[in-house]
């Protein structure tokens, strides 16, 4: 899952980015509204954490521009403005959630997870595809009750594919949602990780869940097509 | 009596009652005077008629009144009395009704009758008139000589007319009865009027005070959360509308003051929350997993930096609060301004170097001012801090001191100014930042220059920004000469 943080106060920006990365998210950061809008319109972020009081272009203006561009990203406003009218204005302007400073990082993480679920229309934190269960809160997966030993990157890939279960997902889409600009990735990195993940899912002779669609991408599906 | 309604009721009802009483008294007096005047006129006419029945004959004054048997005096319950006295005050004639009663001597003169209210011989109250006149001479002479009021007697003596006094009294019973009826009538009008007046005045006062009650209800509806409401003066009477307008003005001033207070609180909250949020998220993320010593050191260093920034902000807020509360008591001493300015620059120099900002000090020799040393340190530190913070990277800062005839002047300027002339007018406002989005949060709250201005005002110093500095942001501080200079 890929998150954009638009925050001018460096300690918050950097600590939140670090925490989200450690939680398995691909994170990009922007220190002002113009950079934030440029990144948000040029990339398909799952969640945008947006401060309201930003240099160059304020958060509400960025939100308006994103709304007009037909965004699919979920927006979480993160601001020191805590009055009811501020929250109402923010939510009425199209934000999906609102969190005031100072905040508990665990709460921010939970809200980001919720927004990711909402983006992919998932109703529960546990995703089920056949005998595969993915717990997005505890960040663990089991198949037929057996715990799968996944690296953070593998789990994120599995979570993304599970969120888009039965859909054919292109390599570009996977790359865009799993890697941020800080990651030095090679062109075949997606194929490599899909290979690792597929191997772990099919251990002990289990059925194939990740199917290759030649010329298109991959599909996580219980049904063998 | 604190109630306006009670006070008005008492005063209006009391006033009208007194007015009724006075009116009644005047009416009574006028009627009585009129009746008495008419009575006196009739009495005088009767007395004149009686006087015409008195003759002056050579043998003396002769009264024919008794002979006429006038019923007025003859009746058993006669209410008229008369007595006739000659010049020697001897009673010549009197009505039977008078009996042995003696009328008072009123001292009437010819053509000057005297009236008086007196008790009558029968004990009733009455009115008496005393007239003095010359009885007609009854002689066997022709009319012409009689008319001259003198007569020449055969012996050659002249018979002079003598003055005779007639006292005529009549009962004023009928007038007294009328006046008594009038008095009772007036008393009834007064009592009834007063009884009617009280509820009328009460209603009048109540309806007159209704606009006040309505205004009071409107005021009660205004709570501290929403001071944008205004009282409606359009339907109020002129006396109340003035008060309402003044109240609306007061509300507008209160709203503005509360607005500033809210804005100040919001700014304080924002400036404190942001570094707190930074510290909390830094610490939480750091503690979320086991890390190596370097990462912990990095996080703690970051938190320490944020703590110092917050401490500086809190210190500025406290200083402002102390100045506002009048708790600052400056101690004026002769102070070396150059030393303090150099110390302030040294404290900010590392930050300036990190931005590749060069500083240039042009200090006059022996620059000493009479001021409070602690306050001057805070002032210079904040002014230099502000210059370093807002100087553009690779920019220049110039610090100057000079002595002039009015005292000492400190001038601090930095390059990279992008503020307009209008914005320069606001640089001393609390929490004002050139960027309305408060991009310097956590670094500069917009309090430094406000604190400088408050300190300068408290010390009586002149602190000003050069509005024509162009790309140079220039602040000048004028200090007084040392004592004895």
pLDDT digits (tens, 9 = 90+) for B206-253: 888 888 888 888 888 887 777 788 888 887 888 788 888 888 899 888
pLDDT at B145: 46
Query: Where does residue B442 rank: exposed (0-12), middle (13-18), buried (19+ CB within 10 A)?
Result: buried
B49 or B440, higher pLDDT: B49
Residues of A with CB under 8 A from a CB of B: 8-12, 14-16, 18-19, 22, 32-33, 53-55, 58, 80-83, 100-106, 108
pLDDT tens figures, A199-225: 888 887 778 888 888 888 888 888 755
Query: pTM for this one?
Result: 0.58
At residue B143 the predicted structure's pLDDT band, cuts being 50, 70 and 90, is: very low
Q: State the pairing for strand pair A2-6/A26-30.
A: parallel
Kindly report the three-state secondary structure assignment for every residue of B354-421.
HCCCEEEEEECCCCEEEEEHHHHHHHHHHHHHHHHHHCCCCCEEEEEEEEECCEEEEEEEECCCCCCH
Residue of A108, A139, A135 lying closest to A122 (CA atoms): A135
The reported pLDDT for the residue numbered A75 is 95
Q: Tell me: pLDDT of B58 over 60.
A: yes
Query: A83, B280: Cβ pair inside 8 Å?
Result: no
Check whether B144 has a pLDDT greater than 50.
Answer: no
pLDDT band at B43 (very low <50, low <70, confident <90, very high): very high
Say yes or no for a CB contact (<8 Å) between B278 and A9: yes
Alpha helices in B288-372 (DSSP H): 293-324, 337-354
**With bands split at pLDDT 50, 70 and 90, how would you rate the model's confidence at A186?**
low
Q: What pLDDT score does B149 carry?
A: 46
Q: What is the ipTM of this complex?
A: 0.80
Give me A203's structure tokens: 């251990």
Average pLDDT over residues B337-341: 90
CB–CB of B399/B420 below 8 Å? no
CA–CA distance, B172 with B169 (Å, rounded to integer): 9
Task: Please determine, for residue B26, whether its predicted confidence score (pLDDT) is greater than 90.
Answer: yes
Query: What are the distances in angstroms from CA A36 to CA A43, A48, A66, A149, B84?
Result: 11, 9, 10, 36, 133
- Tell me the C-alpha distance between B21 and B28, whole Å: 10
* Residues near B260 by beta carbon (within 8 Å), at least 6 away in sequence: none
Average pLDDT over residues B346-367: 87
Residues of B whose CB is below 8 A from A22? 285, 288-289
pLDDT digit string, tens, across residues B422-472: 777 777 777 666 665 555 555 566 777 888 888 888 888 888 888 777 788
How far is Cα A1 from Cα A175, in angstroms, rounded to an integer? 10
Q: Is the pLDDT of residue B179 over 70?
A: yes
Q: Give which of B271, B306, B439, B440 to mutate to test A binding, by max A Cβ within 10 Å.
A: B439
Which tokens sit at B202? 């009460």
B284, A105: Cβ pair inside 8 Å?
yes
CA B343/CA B351 separation, integer angstroms: 14
User: Residue B378 — φ and ψ, nearest 5°?
Assistant: -60, -45
Residue range B13-29: mean pLDDT, rounded: 91
Q: What's the rounded mean pLDDT across residues B363-379?
A: 85
CB contact under 8 A, B306 and A11: yes
**N residues, chain B:** 485
Q: Which of B281, B286, B307, B313 to mutate against chain A (most A CBs within 10 Å)?
A: B281
pLDDT band of B159, cuts 50, 70, 90: low
For residue B283, what is the nearest residue in chain A, using CA coordinates?
A15
- Give strand pairing partners of A3: A27, A47
Greater confidence (A174 vs B58) lies with A174
Q: Is the pLDDT of residue B146 over 50?
A: no
Render pLDDT for A100-145 as a digit per residue (tens, 0 to 9).
988 999 999 999 999 998 888 888 888 888 888 899 888 889 988 8
């Amino acid at each position: 899952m890929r998150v954009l943080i638009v925050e001018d106060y460096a300690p918050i920006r950097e600590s939140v980015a670090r925490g989200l990365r450690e939680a398995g998210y691909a994170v990009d950061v922007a220190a002002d509204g113009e950079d934030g809008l440029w990144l948000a319109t040029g990339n398909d972020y799952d969640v945008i954490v947006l401060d309201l009081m930003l240099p160059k272009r304020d958060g509400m203006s960025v939100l308006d521009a994103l709304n007009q561009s037909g965004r699919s990203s979920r927006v979480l406003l993160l601001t020191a403005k805590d009055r009811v009218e501020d929250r109402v204005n923010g939510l009425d302007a199209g934000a999906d959630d609102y969190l005031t400073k100072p905040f508990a990082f665990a709460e921010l993480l939970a809200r980001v997870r919720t927004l990711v679920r909402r983006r992919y229309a998932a109703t529960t934190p546990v995703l089920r595809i056949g005998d595969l269960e993915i717990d997005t809160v505890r960040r663990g997966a089991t198949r037929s009750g057996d715990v799968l030993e996944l690296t953070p990157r593998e789990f994120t890939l599995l979570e993304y594919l599970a969120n888009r279960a039965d859909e054919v997902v292109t390599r570009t889409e996977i790359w865009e949602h799993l890697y941020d600009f800080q990651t030095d990735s090679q062109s075949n990195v997606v194929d490599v990780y899909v290979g690792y993940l597929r191997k772990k899912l099919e251990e002990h002779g289990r059925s194939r869940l990740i199917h290759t669609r030649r010329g298109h991408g991959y599909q996580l599906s219980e049904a063998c097509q | 009596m604190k109630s306006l309604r009670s006070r008005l009721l008492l005063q209006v009802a009391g006033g009208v009652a007194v007015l009724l009483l006075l009116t009644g008294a005047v009416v009574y007096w006028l009627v009585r005077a009129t009746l008495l005047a008419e009575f006196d006129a009739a009495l005088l006419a009767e007395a004149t008629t009686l006087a015409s029945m008195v003759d002056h004959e050579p043998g003396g004054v002769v009264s024919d009144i008794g002979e006429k048997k006038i019923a007025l005096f003859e009746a058993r319950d006669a209410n008229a009395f008369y007595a006739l006295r000659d010049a020697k005050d001897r009673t010549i004639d009197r009505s039977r009704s008078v009996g042995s009663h003696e009328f008072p001597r009123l001292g009437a003169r010819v053509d000057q009758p005297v009236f008086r209210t007196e008790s009558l011989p029968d004990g009733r109250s009455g009115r008496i008139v005393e007239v003095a006149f010359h009885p007609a001479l009854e002689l066997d002479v022709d009319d012409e000589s009689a008319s001259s009021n003198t007569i020449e007697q055969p012996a050659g003596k002249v018979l002079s007319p003598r003055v005779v006094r007639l006292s005529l009294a009549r009962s004023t019973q009928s007038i007294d009865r009328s006046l008594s009826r009038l008095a009772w009538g007036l008393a009834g009008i007064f009592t009834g009027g007063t009884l009617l007046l009280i509820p009328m005045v009460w209603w009048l006062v109540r309806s007159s005070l209704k606009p006040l009650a309505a205004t009071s209800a409107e005021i009660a509806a205004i709570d501290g959360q929403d001071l944008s409401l205004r009282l409606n003066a359009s339907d109020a009477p002129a006396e109340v509308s003035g008060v309402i307008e003044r109240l609306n003005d007061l509300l507008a001033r209160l709203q503005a003051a509360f607005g500033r207070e809210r804005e100040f609180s919001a700014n304080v909250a924002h400036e404190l929350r942001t570094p707190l949020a930074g510290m909390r998220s830094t610490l939480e993320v750091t503690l979320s997993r086991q890390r190596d010593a370097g990462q912990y050191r990095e996080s703690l260093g970051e938190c320490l930096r944020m703590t110092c920034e917050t401490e500086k902000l809190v210190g500025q807020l406290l200083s402002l609060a102390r100045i506002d509360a009048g708790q600052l008591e400056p101690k004026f001493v002769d102070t070396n301004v150059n030393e303090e300015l150099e110390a302030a620059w040294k404290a900010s120099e590392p930050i300036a170097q990190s931005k590749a900002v060069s500083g240039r000090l042009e200090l006059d020799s022996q620059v000493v001012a009479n001021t409070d040393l602690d306050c001057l340190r805070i002032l210079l530190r904040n002014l230099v801090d502000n210059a370093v913070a807002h100087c553009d990277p690779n920019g220049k800062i110039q610090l100057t001191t000079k002595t002039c005839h009015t005292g000492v002047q400190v001038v601090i300027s930095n390059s990279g100014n992008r503020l307009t002339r209008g914005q320069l007018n606001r640089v001393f406002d609390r929490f004002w930042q050139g960027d309305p989005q408060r991009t310097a949060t956590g670094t500069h709250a917009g309090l430094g220059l406000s604190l400088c201005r408050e300190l300068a005002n408290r010390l009586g110093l002149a602190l000003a920004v050069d509005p024509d500095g162009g790309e140079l942001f220039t602040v000048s501080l004028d200090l007084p000469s040392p004592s004895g200079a």
